[in-house]
Amino acid sequence: MITVNNKDEIVGYMIWDVCGYACLEIDIAEVKEEYRNRGILKNMIQALQDKYVDVTVLTGQVLDEAQDVFQRMGWEKINKKQDNNFYLKCLKPISKQHNELQDGLCLAVFSKFDLEDKIGINYFQIKENLDERKLKYFQIDLDEQGRLITPVVTEFDYEGYIGIYLNKQLIKDGQTKRLFNNNVIYNNMLILDKQNFVLKEEWNIK
């Protein structure tokens, strides 16, 4: 994507990747210095959103000098305790996180990002001591085809644990690669939406 002025001179450009169905990652976004603070970057990002209307999340690695700009546009830093500049912006309302298991259909998640020291921990280690973990819970609302209505977005490591509960009874658990397709984790974020979260018939959910 390029932006030009009334003299057809390029004043800004953007390059991005489509990361599965739910996420777009901005690789490069630059505006010439003399044209900054005129809303050009904001307009390019809006044009990107208009082009990919079904995308749930935008992500990108933001330069130090540009972090204030992205924060003013509603972007939030990912993994704040780590030394990186990955930012995220949710384009749709997302499911609220709960600290206790909810009634109905509910998703439970836990990974190394839920530990204070962020040390490595895998699915089997988590499940072995599941009662000792402070799981994060997200209520799941589905349409008639079993597709997710409200997206789930949270910090998550690919080695983490996911459990699916119905009326507080565990019906299925596993790693993301066992439960969903491979396109659910981006920049250490679990991103589930109607495109990649579909209940399987063998789970016997009524």
- Percent share of the chain, pLDDT over 90: 32
Residue-level pLDDT at 124 = 93
pLDDT in tens, 77-92: 886 555 578 889 999 8
The arithmetic mean of pLDDT across residues 35-41, rounded, is: 87
C-beta of residue 153 within 8 angstroms of C-beta of residue 187: no
Q: Rounded to a whole number, what is the distance in angstroms from the first to the last CA of the chain?
A: 46
> What is the tens place of the pLDDT at every residue in 79-132?
655 557 888 999 989 999 999 999 999 999 999 989 887 678 899 999 999 998
Give residue limits of the domains in the chain: 2-90, 97-203
What pLDDT, on the 0 to 100 scale, is given for residue 173? 92
Residue 187 pLDDT class (50, 70, 90 cuts): confident
* 25-56: b (≥16 Cβ within 10 Å) or e: bbeebbbeeebeeeebbeebbeebeeeeeebb
Give the per-residue pLDDT at 80. 58
Query: pTM for the full model?
Result: 0.81
Q: What is the CATH architecture assignment of 2-90? A: 3-Layer(aba) Sandwich (3.40)
Mean pLDDT across the stretch 158-176? 92
Residue 182 has pLDDT above 60, yes or no: no
Q: How many CA atoms lie within 13 A of 91 on its CB side?
A: 20
